[in-house]
Amino acid sequence: MHKKHLMVIDPAIEKPAIESFNRISRITEYPVTYHLPALFGFENSLRIKQNVKGIIVLGSAASVHDGFRWQEELTNILEESFDNNIPVLGICYGHQHIAHICGGKVGLLWDDNKKQGVRNVRLIKDTLYGGACNGPMIYSHKEGVTEIPENFEIIAKSDMVNVDGFASTTKPIWGFQTHIEATQAFIDHHNIPLGDIDNPCQFGHKILDSFINFLS
C-alpha cells in the first residue's frame, strides 16, 4: 500500500468493533486499514506502517499490565509514530496504553467490577475539537488513567473519572477513556444501560470526527 492511510487498531480479545470501524471508513476520505492484534497478531500491520497518516487504537478487555506479545508490538508501533509526529488517538484501552507507555499510571478506578453506562463528560478547550463543552458519553471499563505522563494535560473530566481525556502538549496525541467510537451495535453487544439519554453516541462521534478531520 503506497497511499497514506488511517490505521485503526482494534485490540479486542473477543468481539471486534466492526461497526465502529465501518463508520470510520464511511466518513474518511482516505484509505483505512483495520488490524486485530490480540486475535491475529501484528505481522501484516508491520508491513504497512511506513505509510500511516494517523492511528486510532480502540478498546479492549485486556489490561495494559497483561504483558502480551501484541501489547509489546503495539508499543513499538506507537513509539515509532510518536517519534515521527504521526497523530494518534487512543480510546478506552488505547487511552490507557498511551498513558502507560509514556510514563503515566493506569490502575483500578473502583473495585474489580466493570462499570457501564453513560456519563456526562466536560471537555476543556483543545485544538482538536475547539472550545469547552460537555455532553453524554458511553463508558465500559474498570481501569483508567490515574496519573498522566509528563508533557500531557487533562482535557476531559467527569464526576466518575478525573482523567477522562488527555492530550500531549508537544505532539499530536490524544486519549479518551469513554467510547467515543461506539455505535448501536456496541451498545447492544455490551448491554450498555442508557437511561433516558437520546442519541448517546452523538457527542463522542463529534470528537472522533474531529480527529479524522484533523488528518485531512
pLDDT at 106 over 50: yes
pLDDT at 1 over 60: no
Q: What is the mean pLDDT of the chain?
A: 93
pLDDT at 59 over 90: yes
* Span 158-177, pLDDT tens digits: 999 999 999 999 999 999 99
CA-to-CA separations, 129 to 51, 136, 155, 206, 207, in angstroms, rounded: 25, 16, 11, 8, 6
Out of 1-15, 94-108, 186-200, pick the least confident. 1-15
Cα Rg of the chain (Å, integer): 16
Provide the annotated active-site residues: 92, 179, 181
Q: Tell me the average pLDDT across 170-188.
A: 97
Q: Tell me the average pLDDT across 98-115.
A: 94
Dist CA 69 CA 84 (whole Å):
23
Give the pLDDT confidence score for residue 47 in this predicted structure.
Answer: 57
Domain span at residue 123 reads 5-215
Block residue for cell numbers 506507537: 78
Identify the band that residue 125 occupies on the pLDDT scale cut at 50, 70 and 90: confident
Give the pLDDT confidence score for residue 49 in this predicted structure.
Answer: 62
Count of domains observed in the chain? 1
Q: What's the grid cell of residue 9?
A: 487498531
Give the pLDDT confidence score for residue 54 in this predicted structure.
Answer: 96
Domain with residue 181: its CATH number is 3.40.50.880
Question: What are the DSSP E strand ranges found in 85-171?
Answer: 88-91, 105-108, 115-123, 133-141, 143-147, 152-157, 165-168
Q: Tell me the average pLDDT across 17-35.
A: 95
Percentage with pLDDT > 70 across the chain: 96
* Strand-pair partners of 119: 137
CA-to-CA separations, 125 to 59, 104, 122, 214, in angstroms, rounded: 24, 22, 10, 16
Considering the entire predicted model, what is its pTM? 0.95
CA-to-CA separations, 195 to 109, 113, 136, in angstroms, rounded: 22, 20, 11
pLDDT at 23 over 60: yes
Amino acid at 108: L
